[in-house]
Structure 1
Amino acid sequence: LRTPLTALHLQLGALERAGTDEERTEATQRLSAGVQRSIRLVEQLLSLERQAPRAEAARGRIALDELAREVVAELVPLADARGIDLGMAEAQRALIQGEPDSVATLVRNLVDNAVRYTPRGGRVDVSVTAPGAAGDPVKLKVADNGPGIAPEERSRVFDRFYRHPGTQVPGSGLGLAIVKAIADAHGADIELGEGEGGRGLAVTVSFPTESKT
């Protein structure tokens, strides 16, 4: 937390030194954006720390297709504001065992991440597929046509605070770490691959039809 708090302190100083209305407006906007980033960081840190005890409690049957639809609907305004075509590519009826709030956080983080990293005019597709045969997993897939992640970096993106070198997208580097923690707690596997046509990133989370834990 030291880095964002230091940034807020500097932004407050810039606001205090502003000599014109235009400078004050710009400094206020930067300070407000910094506060929002700090709030998001704290929320993600709290979410990460809560996953272990939460995932062991209040487990029940979850309709993953319905939950994914709800998350997509929630994030459509963000996608629209960024000029991103966000939608459900497929939504087969699929039931899993899990903690609803945690699984919703997993889906939300994946979709939010895809929307934020996909350039304006891009596309993000979410799909849920049911098992094809007994014992097959339920699959959640979030695919985009953004810049993607190089194969040699994919093993690192789930590390806490990892940020792709040179990225200009604001963030804490905790979103995918939270996804990994929730997936692990639910006995789910995560696979990173390329999006449609070899462009972008496709994240597939495979949930067991019966909990492994």
Structure 2
Amino acid sequence: MTLRLGDIAPDFTQQSTIGEIRFHEWAGPHWVVLFSHPADFTPVCTTELGKTAKLAGEFARRNVKPLAVSVDPLESHQQWIQDINDTQSTTVNFPILADADRKVAELYDMIHPNSLANATVRSVFIIDPEKKIRLTLTYPASTGRNFTEILRVIDSLQLTDSHKVATPADWQEGDEVVIVPSLQDPEEIARRFPQGYRAIRPYLRLTPQPNRQ
């Protein structure tokens, strides 16, 4: 099954380190970062889950719930969490799905046989409160994810959902943003962007980030 941007994220029921999760019900009115791991007790995965735990405040501030996936069983997850907490000096505070039957991995196409025959690759799905998939990323097993980038994308999505703007290359919170080309009415532009804008080209108009007055 190929999942594309804008698709409804498939619902599922699966066991996790906090008990059974009915995905859509568990997600509720929140954004979700669903991300998979090749295996428990692996070095890169250990650093990634530790980083996710340390970013709990950043995720909460953005109304985001992290949810990890591994095809290893629940008992293995529980033992691994102790290692993560110890080696990464943190406390894992989000659920890890025990996807031993690969239900979720197959539903979200997380197993790529030409890369890893029996384990999930490092997939990332950002899912909005309407359960729509807003971003997909796939990393090779050898490369740990950039969580700064994941947070940056969430910031961009939440900003551009609320204002008629897009974010340019390498945009960071507080930088100028792009007024979308479809917005042409001068009165609406003045109302939406009271700080004004600068037109580098008719189609390239930069304005201060509108939710940072």
TM-score with structure 2 setting the length: 0.26
Higher share in helix: 1
Name the TM-score, length of structure 1 as normaliser.
0.26
